[in-house]
Amino acid sequence: MTRFLSTRAKKIYEWIEKRYHISPLIEEAQRSINFALPSTLTRQNKSRLFWLGYPYYYAGAITAFLAILQGVTGLLLAFHYVPSAVGDPGTPTEAYLSIQTIMKAVPLGALIRGIHQWGANLLIAALAIHAFWAYFRSPYRLGREMSWFLGVVLLGLALAYSFSGYLLPWDQLGFWAATISVQIMRAIPLVGDFIAQILLGGTTLSPTALTRMYFYHVCLLPVIAVILVGTHLVLVVLQGVSEPEEAWKPQTDRDAQIVRQEGPLFGPFFPHQIMPVLIISLVTLGAVLLLGAYAVQPPGEPANKFLTPQFIAPEWYFLWAYGLLKWVGWVYDLVHFVPPATVLGVDLVSAKVVGILLATAIFLVLLLLPLVDRGKEVRTLRRPLKTAVGVWAIGLLSTLTLYALNEILSAQLSIPIGTINLTLGSVVITVPLILAVPVYVILRLHASKTTDGTARLRS
């Protein structure tokens, strides 16, 4: 351990060691960190195609880096923000004014807020890529179920973060996005109102709700996040980065020869693997700085509970859910389905409850995926159904996002709303299938062609 240290650093280390005996811990950590990453995967993919997939390996690292950046900028913003929403509807509250102060008076305030804003957006984007990458490559089939469970919970946590943060400026868009979310939450059968009251201190957005949201955003969620992200990362250190098992074993004599001649291409995590992480983090930092400096979005009009702004839409990563709500309503109209008022006091089939049930179902399916999807095959191209479902999901999320913009598109393109709804509504149904079915068919054929031969897994 001490061989890299200078004399002075060695003395400090010895001072600590004498008192706390940390050397076994450090050695264990070193052993874990030096876990060599597989190199055969890169060699098997000499083609340029591999490099298209390469950045996805680092989506998790980018997410972690952005999370730290969010912590730092959030800490600085917390020095100036005032979580008070007392005031007449439509007039600037203290919360709103403190954001104005940050933007206009605080030295570098606009930049810090810009970084925080864009950091949040990029974090969600990186997280989405990280999640889909994990979905397609099924690492939970190689003993990483806990990482997957934690990951799904962290995905929910990131959305809770952005939801609470979006409300803090107490401007029109944040207020109405939160109002809609709270009303959706209230529609949860039987317990909805109770949950809203516990979380927000009421069933509508009041100054109390802002105080609580601020508490969640800067106190409760960070504590949970640090614990869960910490565990998620410790698991990576303990288990190493996931690769298909076959990547470890040269399948052909030629591969074995390459391994003998060239040695590991990637090498151990530290220092070889940390280098790309640092490089990609710096690139991300550059992007966030540029976006934060030149594209920071000032708060909109002060919140007014008596006036819903025109072309209201949530942030881009919630658009699919917003589109889903609209789309379910459109389908109901199309088939002239009128939900009965209540079944045992619950609007079970109203569009919003259907939306909640679908969202819960998505979350549960994601969470429980490792329990359902068992087996040893982890290669994306050998799993036709799962890969096709993933492609379908990406298609569905994209088209629902598009559907959410129906009003805006109708106004911009001067197309009647009925035509837009019919077009986009059909797109939501067909395009994901048009994408997924060929993927399934092609992979199915591919899989049946290569069922025997050297490439087959032991299973």
Partner 1 sequence: MNRRRFVETIVSLGIAGTVVSFLSLLMSLLPTAGAGPEEGEVDNVLRYGPEKGAWYSDKSGTEVRFEDFDQVGKGAGVLWRRKIPAIVIRVDESKLRGATATSGLIAFASTCTHLCCISTWHLDRPSEDVIFCRCHDGVFDPYDVVKDVTANGAEYLGAKVIAGPPPRAAPLIPIEIKDGKVAGVADNLEIYAYCG
Which residues here bind partner 1, judged by CB under 8 A? 86, 89-90, 176, 179-180, 183-184, 197-199, 201-204, 208, 304, 306-312, 322, 325-326, 328-329, 332-333, 339, 341-342, 345, 347, 350-352, 406-407, 417
252 contact partners, CB below 8 Å, separation of at least 6 = 454
Nearer to partner 1, 99 or 180 (CB): 180
Nearer to partner 1, 29 or 331 (CB): 331
Nearer to partner 1, 384 or 425 (CB): 425
Min. distance of Cβ 184 from partner 1 in angstroms? Answer: 6
Min. distance of Cβ 336 from partner 1 in angstroms? Answer: 11
Min. distance of Cβ 423 from partner 1 in angstroms? Answer: 15
* Full DSSP string of 45-72: T-STHHHHHGGGGGHHHHHHHHHHHHHH
Nearer to partner 1, 20 or 306 (CB): 306
Using CA atoms, how far apart are residues 40 and 29, in angstroms rounded to an integer?
25
* Full DSSP string of 412-435: HHT--HHHHHHHHHHHHHHHHHHH
197 contact partners, CB below 8 Å, separation of at least 6 = 203
Nearer to partner 1, 358 or 433 (CB): 358
Q: Could you give the 3-state DSSP secondary structure of residue 343?
A: strand
Min. distance of Cβ 277 from partner 1 in angstroms? Answer: 41
Q: Assess contact for 129 and 59: CB atoms under 8 A.
A: yes
Alpha helices (H) in 138-191, listed in sequence order? 145-167, 172-186
Q: Assess contact for 213 and 167: CB atoms under 8 A.
A: yes
Min. distance of Cβ 340 from partner 1 in angstroms? Answer: 10
Min. distance of Cβ 197 from partner 1 in angstroms? Answer: 5
Using CA atoms, how far apart are residues 186 and 289, in angstroms rounded to an integer?
39
Min. distance of Cβ 200 from partner 1 in angstroms? Answer: 9
Q: Which of 402, 452, 458 is nearest to 427 (CA)?
A: 402
Nearer to partner 1, 326 or 382 (CB): 326
